[in-house]
Structure 1
Amino acid sequence: MYKRFAKIAAITILVFTGHISRSQSRYHPATLFPALPLLPPGNEYRTATGEPGPAYWQNQSDYVLDVTLDDHKNVIKGTATITYTNNSPKALSSLWLQLDQNVYKHDSRGILSGLFQYKDAEKKVADGGFQIEDVKPAGASAGSITYDVYDTRMKLSLSQPLQKGQQLTFRIQYSYLFPVNYKNADFQVNRTDIMPSKNGDIYAVAQWYPRMCVLDDAEGWNTLPYLGNGEFYLDFGNFQVNITLPSSYLVEASGDLLNPEEVLTPVQLKRWQAAKAGSDPVFIRSAKEVAEASSRPAKPTCTWKFKMDRTRDFAWTASKSFIWEASSFSLGNGKKVMGSSLYPLESDKPNSWARSGEYIKFTLQHFSEKWFTYPFNKAVNVASNLDGMEYPGIVFCSARDTGNIYWAVVNHELGHTWFPMVVGSNERKYAWMDEGFNLFIDNIATKEFNKGEFRGYAEIDMPVTALFADSLLPILSRPDITPGNQVYNVQYQKVAYLLALLRNEIVGVKRFDAAFGKYINDWAYKHPTPWDFFRSMNASVGEDLTWFWKSMFMENFRLDQKIAKVENSGGNKTMVTIENIERAAMPLLVDITYVNGIHERRSFPIEIWQYNTAYTFAADRNETVSRVVIDPDQVYPDVDRSNNVYELKK
């Protein structure tokens, strides 16, 4: 074998080194095609084929939340009763919780680092966030608990370790103060909000209770502080939520409403039941009824009770100003879901919120059929100050959006049901597994919505080459180290572009869709890492895509394929040499035109770049070539197309 490969190597040197100087190219094949794997080895928790292993574990966090809203002081106050189940291999002497909204305190790490800051850095704004009043175990045998708050985290120290397989129930008395200067939109990043409208404020209530940090086998306790760009990483569990507030408010939330007869008027109850049972849109409260006192029960307060199982979070909304429209529809497997839209009179426009129900229905039906069945019993879309923010079963979209932008936001936020509400990746570190995956499936959905109504809008808001600028960080970068002007480019658009490239050009639609669907199903209600995704796709498509993950995700490598030489030699076949100039590699597509006008399209696999920086091949016909074009349809991200064309000199 040695002599055979030595002979091939000698021939290769004769073919290439006479024409191509290695110094012209930055490409090193061994970087993209290493002998040793770049991905960590599989283990009993996470297999080398990208599936959860036989010993995979994750802990569970169940919540009972009893709270009241003081709409004069904008304070939520109440009790969070949390039952934490330790499924990890060892006993735990402490637990960690997230208090994300402490980022609103003037001395928070997010404020001081400038990542989550006021628009006017000199402006003094009153603190928002949490006040923890007490933490106590719910059972007498649980021992004592002490707590310490560190910025956006809280540590519970247990007097008795929580053993493997045991549960601990404890109660937290707390209050949460909304950001007080909401009307001036002082915060650069805002995932909870109060929006003024003509008929009353609209509360978008999220990250509003102490939430358990995730303990996993990959990194232990995930206690990164909340700084702004990085979103959330949460356990799955069950929720019971009771919200008490003035009866003049309408409330919707993540979970199923358990007591509609107690919080709706008799007329509204009948409409709510009709919307749940039928398929036609029903206005539970119409536009003309918004200002009528009779559209709400005649009592001081209402307690809205909700329940939601197997979810990672819970959010809700409340306002006196809501128009409330709802309708039910079936998914492909026969499951029935209610779509619920709430918005103020100002948003009641035909090319905007009046189409909310239509967008909800299509999005849930399309993604359920294509990838994984929508897991909840309803989907709520709320008009708010937030430009778009997602939670299980409920999304907040801009009250002002219209047209294509409104469609795109609703589709995208509901698309987050699949990433990360079902596939529970770590958004704090890997936002691209949430935002990029979601935008990728959104782009597919947009092409199919309403016979392509919004198909003409660009998927990428910039030249593709801008996604590979030297100044950009790699996709595999923490969100909180990513400059704000790169977040959308890197975590959203570049990931969506690359997945589409992999799907459409490299492995094919059929193979990709089957592999991507398997990844979703394997990791539904679990916590995959980037390595799990890479290994899963490799195993399912039957290819070692290390070169792709390395160059496109782990690094910000660029692609530049160059026509280095075209040798027309009389009646013999023309020899064409293509050089790989930059550090990335992609399959090669070449269009050849002969002087007689005949075209020839040639394609070559990625393996041609395993050996050297250049590749030479012969045209198929014994005729003179007049033109050669690399990647004629521009499907690959070549950063310099000026060297992609050869023209025969006349």
Structure 2
Amino acid sequence: MYKNIFSLFFGCLFVTVMQAQELYMPRNVKKAYLHGTRSMTGAPGKNYWQNKGVYDMQVTVTPENGMVQGFETISYSNNSPDTLYELALRFVNNMHKPNVARSSTVPMQFITRGLQITSLKINGEPYKVNSDNWGTVEKIKLTAALMPRSKMNVEIAWNYPLSELSGREGRIDSTTFFVAYSYPRISVYDDCDGWDMLEHNGAQEFYNDFNDYKVAVKVPANYVVWATGDFLNPDEVLQPAIAARLKDSYVSDSVVHIATREEMIGGKVTRQNEWNTWKFSYNHITDFTFAISNHYVWDGGSTIVDKNTKRRASMQAAYAATAADFTNSVAWGKQTLHYYSNVMPAVPYPYPKMTAFHGYGDMEFPMMVNDETVPNNLLSARMLQDHEMSHTYFPFYMGINEARYAFMDEGWAVYFTYRLSCELFGKQVGDSILANSRIKRWNADASAEMDMPLITMSSQLAGKAYRANSYNKAVAAYAALHSLLGEEKFRQALHHYMKLWHGKHPIPWDFFNSFNTATAQNLNWFWNNWFFSSHYMDLKIDEVKTGKKDCVVKVSNPGGLYIPAKVIAYYSDGTTAVKEIHVAHWGFNKLTYKQISFVQKPNVAISKITIDNGVFADANPENNVWMK
């Protein structure tokens, strides 16, 4: 009885404290909580819903002219309580059109005519559309409204030319293409923003529903297709020896050379039909992507990603024979899949395979990454692949709205890669990489745009401000959160959040609230400081008072961000003493300075005192040192 009363009291106190320290919330987000689609506990609300499409596509790629032609049927479920009078169609590759707004200038080789829709039917009714003037997202007025919790059938025939200049997608070489964002898709309709009508400008990334995909890709003989999803018909399109090697790689701990360049160009890999149709499928994923080549090397291997079920995932690589770093891709990828599955975030890799494709753009897709070659720096090549692979969890597994909240995606990807680098190369090297490649780039720049609050919508940021918030400031926030909570509690809270929201669409407040609940702490003081303020990282030694018995150091926090640090005293006999400042000192205790005492040893002077911020690179390191 006493235990129940205590638990009830603590629970009420926790909720009361949380409500007393509310976080800023936009009006549309408040509306979602009011309607019960989201909960202040951080869990999806009792009325949570999300829409879904079932895509059946046939796509043909003609390498000679770089044309993509397709036909799709989409069974679209409106699971919302709203009547939809319009349908929003999205085609990201229209960003190649000459009249579309972009975040930066592009060369002429980037420009194409964009999407051409040759046929559109909705529930069997033909719609006349002129796609010539479409941007990257367009609304179509429905002749018959789509009622709540009902379905519609959409049929689209389309074509578009692949860009001659490869970035996130397009032509890699004369016979190699990375074919992404290749089909018209129904844009997201959600409980916070309704139809997602944000135009894609090449900077901010994406936001997609969880859909089911069944795709047939038709290409000429001798072209191999690597794609998202389960490969359904290897025996129909591959020659027997190659199909056998591929299947061997699915269970092999070693790297299997599925196809060499000589076999590819010698016609010994695919069936020698004039055209081959490669079939793939997968359910409840946010996108489908594929790539083709008639000369790329093809490697494979596998690793156990779920130690309880012994489930394996295939790791594959496709690359030009000249890309020396890619010869390591399968071995690297197996290590990475194992680490992410078992150590951090310690969630078993959720898909059956991952393919590292040698291209450009350094971009992630479900079950694929499109990375450039970095032949002269294997460390950079390794970390690039690791970073893109980490996006499996954020955004794909977790359904993040990257276009609005990139810090929920890129920040975690950088953090997971940082943790992996510490495992592979040692903490000192991992810390150095993070501090120098990410955090200093933000915190050492005093430009006003570098101090935009993390919560600022990514679509409203440009240039270095976008990169600072999405990557550099975000990873610092997650590292500070880890320092605050400790490894065990941090991992438990992260797992709680991911268990609640994987396969759905969390927003920042779901993240904040789920961590509050999982830790049984009101962390709003931390969220406010790191996500809703314009603070930066700058600690300072204000004064040092030396006495006969002790030396008192006053450390202040003029930058305002709550970060951990070590204060180190150097004695004249070569010894040191270290005192730590914890994140909670600044925020939970609401103090603007820290007073630290060091013992004065007999006949031994303190000659120097420094502040060591670790990865939290200080904006003004010159005021972190005191010399006697």
Instruction: Report TM bin, short chain.
Output: 0.7 to 0.9
How far 1:205 moved relative to its partner? Answer: 0.5
Amino acid at match of 1:161: A
Residues 343-387 of structure 1 deviation map (CA, whole Å, 9 limit, x = unaligned) = 12222x3xx111111122111121112332212111111111x14
Aligned to 1:640: 620
Aligned to 1:323: 297
Q: Could you tell me whether the CA contact under 8 Å between 2:296 and 2:320 is conserved in 1?
A: yes
Residues 315-336 of structure 1 deviation map (CA, whole Å, 9 limit, x = unaligned) = 0011111221222332223112
**Within 1, Cα distance between the matches of 2:96 and 2:543?**
61
**Within 2, Cα distance between the matches of 1:453 and 1:635?**
10
**Within 2, Cα distance between the matches of 1:378 and 1:602?**
44
How far 1:268 moved relative to its partner? Answer: 1.6
Residues 110-152 of structure 1 deviation map (CA, whole Å, 9 limit, x = unaligned) = 2xxxx14314xxx58752421011210245xxx6656575411
Q: Could you tell me whether the CA contact under 8 Å between 2:257 and 2:298 is conserved in 1?
A: yes
Aligned to 1:191: 168
Aligned to 2:75, the other structure's residue is in SS state strand
**Within 1, Cα distance between the matches of 2:135 and 2:126?**
23
Amino acid at match of 2:114: G
Counterpart check, 1:263 vs 2:237: yes
Distance 1:73 1:510, change over 3 A: same
| Runs of 5+ consecutive residues of structure 2 not aligned to the other structure | 1-17
TM-score normalised according to structure 2 size:
0.85
Aligned to 2:436, the other structure's residue is in SS state coil
Q: Could you tell me whether the CA contact under 8 Å between 2:170 and 2:177 is conserved in 1?
A: yes
* Greater mean deviation of Cα atoms: 169-178 or 582-591: 582-591
Tell me which of 284, 304, 313 is aligned to 1:337.
Answer: 313
Aligned to 2:393: 418
Aligned to 1:135: 120
How far 1:286 moved relative to its partner? Answer: 1.8
Counterpart check, 1:368 vs 2:341: yes
**Within 2, Cα distance between the matches of 1:441 and 1:46?**
27
Counterpart check, 1:470 vs 2:446: yes
How far 1:52 moved relative to its partner? Answer: 1.4
Tell me which of 470, 489, 506 is aligned to 1:528.
Answer: 506
Q: Could you tell me whether the CA contact under 8 Å between 1:588 and 1:630 is conserved in 2?
A: no
Distance 1:245 1:612, change over 3 A: closer
How far 1:454 moved relative to its partner? Answer: 7.6
Q: Could you tell me whether the CA contact under 8 Å between 2:212 and 2:283 is conserved in 1?
A: yes
Residues 34-71 of structure 1 deviation map (CA, whole Å, 9 limit, x = unaligned) = 95412436552222122212221111111111121122
Aligned to 1:539: 517
Q: Higher Cα Rg: structure 1 or 2?
A: 1
Amino acid at match of 1:129: G
Counterpart check, 1:383 vs 2:367: no
TM-score normalised according to structure 1 size:
0.83
Tell me which of 297, 322, 327 is aligned to 1:346.
Answer: 322
Aligned to 2:371: 397
Q: Could you tell me whether the CA contact under 8 Å between 1:285 and 1:323 is conserved in 2?
A: yes
How far 1:594 moved relative to its partner? Answer: 8.1
Distance 1:553 1:628, change over 3 A: farther
Q: Could you tell me whether the CA contact under 8 Å between 2:439 and 2:615 is conserved in 1?
A: no
**Within 2, Cα distance between the matches of 1:327 and 1:593?**
51
Q: Could you tell me whether the CA contact under 8 Å between 1:424 and 1:527 is conserved in 2?
A: yes
Q: Could you tell me whether the CA contact under 8 Å between 1:263 and 1:303 is conserved in 2?
A: yes
Aligned to 2:480: 501
Q: Could you tell me whether the CA contact under 8 Å between 2:120 and 2:126 is conserved in 1?
A: no
Q: Could you tell me whether the CA contact under 8 Å between 1:103 and 1:116 is conserved in 2?
A: no
After TM superposition, the structure 1 = structure 2 runs for residues 171-320 of structure 1, keeping only pairs within 5 Å, are 171-179=155-163, 181-182=164-165, 190-196=167-173, 201-320=175-294
Residues 187-217 of structure 1 deviation map (CA, whole Å, 9 limit, x = unaligned) = xxx3212111xxx521100000012211111
Aligned to 2:328: 355
How far 1:447 moved relative to its partner? Answer: 2.3
**Within 1, Cα distance between the matches of 2:260 and 2:566?**
57
With a CA cutoff of 8 Å and minimum separation of 6, indicate the structure with the bigger relative contact order: 1
Aligned to 2:146: 162
* Greater mean deviation of Cα atoms: 511-520 or 55-64: 511-520
**Within 1, Cα distance between the matches of 2:556 and 2:527?**
22
**Within 1, Cα distance between the matches of 2:561 and 2:300?**
50
Aligned to 1:461, the other structure's residue is in SS state helix
Counterpart check, 1:53 vs 2:45: yes
* Greater mean deviation of Cα atoms: 269-278 or 605-614: 605-614
Q: Could you tell me whether the CA contact under 8 Å between 1:252 and 1:380 is conserved in 2?
A: yes
Superposed CA RMSD in Å reads 3.1
Q: Could you tell me whether the CA contact under 8 Å between 2:285 and 2:366 is conserved in 1?
A: yes
| Runs of 5+ consecutive residues of structure 1 not aligned to the other structure | 1-32
Amino acid at match of 1:118: V
Aligned to 2:98: 106
Q: Could you tell me whether the CA contact under 8 Å between 2:386 and 2:417 is conserved in 1?
A: yes
Identity %: 26
Distance 1:323 1:336, change over 3 A: same
* Greater mean deviation of Cα atoms: 402-411 or 218-227: 402-411
Query: For this pair of structures, how many residues does the alignment match?
Result: 590
How far 1:274 moved relative to its partner? Answer: 2.3
Distance 1:236 1:612, change over 3 A: closer
Tell me which of 117, 125, 134 is aligned to 2:105.
Answer: 117
Q: Could you tell me whether the CA contact under 8 Å between 1:229 and 1:479 is conserved in 2?
A: no
